[in-house]
Amino acid sequence: MTNGPVPYGTMAMTEPSSDGHSLTIDDWSQGLVLTVRSPDRVGIVANLAASIQLAGGNIIELDQHTDVVEGDFGCRIEVAGGVNAPELVRRLDDLRSSLSVDYTMTPISRRRARVVVLCSSTLHCPSDLIARSAIGQLDCDVVALVSDQTAARDLAARYGVPFTHLPVGEDRAAQERQVGEVLDELDPDLIVLARYMRVLPAWLVERYEQRIINIHHSFLPAFIGSNPYARAHERGVKIIGATAHYVTAELDAGPIIAQDVVHISHRDDVADMTRRGADIERSVLASAIRLHLEQRVIVFGSRTCVFD
């Protein structure tokens, strides 16, 4: 299985796992997470609950949200082990036809997610993610560091993480193809851009839609692009922040998962802002990854619904 969301209207039972084997009924023994989105209408939650009950399931957690302006509905339901997964899928497919319900259904598995980190020369986020993974704060394994620079080589060696250096020469497209080939070989559940100072090509973003998370060192949509701390200092802002978002073809414009800020003053120069901002970047990125791995994020166009 994959620990990230599978496409809406499908179920992970028919998806291949990272070791090439298909999921079986046993993979659902720990329970499952069901995420749903649909146009808002009366009776959606009641129909979902009834479908789960009739499939022998027991709901242990349910969060829901209705956007009254756009008329969108979303929910996340955690179901205990023992549910008849094929029967539940049949009932959910009926709801998809009758109520325009789109859903993902993913087993709660003991397998840790495979995460590939792309980085450049700024390493506080990659090192933090490796450490959090090692001590169990994130339910994932960092299976590789991939970089356009060599600065992360020693960090990777220190933690025993495979390192791949893909420098950008005169042929940028060739390097991008290499990145795509490496990612295909690594078969990640999630790709994290941890201050990777390159814009990914649209074809690669599309291949891993909603499975690439970027950390941007500003409170988006302010100061999109490079050198946000310097531009924030020039503007004289009184707060700085960090934003973790899904990557789209448009620079720093993907659906936002998590954000946080810290207050600063006229006494803080760019170096102070960079140092203080690094702490926010680490925590925001880790939070976004956890939310994604626990399937607590539902994307509605350019926005997200986050059940934390």
| Active site residue ranges | 252
Give the bridge partners for 148, in sequence order.
Answer: none
CA 132 to chain CA centroid, Å, is 16
Kindly provide the b/e burial profile for residues 165-191, where b requires at least 16 CB atoms within 10 angstroms of the residue's own CB.
Answer: ebeeeeeeeebbeebbeebeebebbbb
What secondary structure letter does DSSP report for 13? G
> The tokens 């790709």 sit on which residue?
191
33: part of which helix (H) or strand (E)? strand 32-39
Q: Which two tokens stand for residue 291?
A: 């939310």
Using an 8 Å Cβ cutoff, are 186 and 167 in contact?
no
- Of 167, 169, 133, 171, nearest to 151 by C-alpha is 167
- Distance, CA of 37 to CA of 100 (rounded, Å): 9
Q: Is the peptide bond before 221 cis (omega within 30 degrees of 0)?
A: yes
Q: In what order do the strands lie in the sheet with 32-39?
A: 59-67, 72-79, 32-39, 102-107
- Distance, CA of 182 to CA of 267 (rounded, Å): 45
Burial category of 198 from C-beta neighbours within 10 Å (exposed 0-12, middle 13-18, buried 19 and up): middle
CA 306 to chain CA centroid, Å, is 11
Kind of pairing between the strands at 163-165 and 102-107: unpaired
Kind of pairing between the strands at 303-306 and 297-300: antiparallel
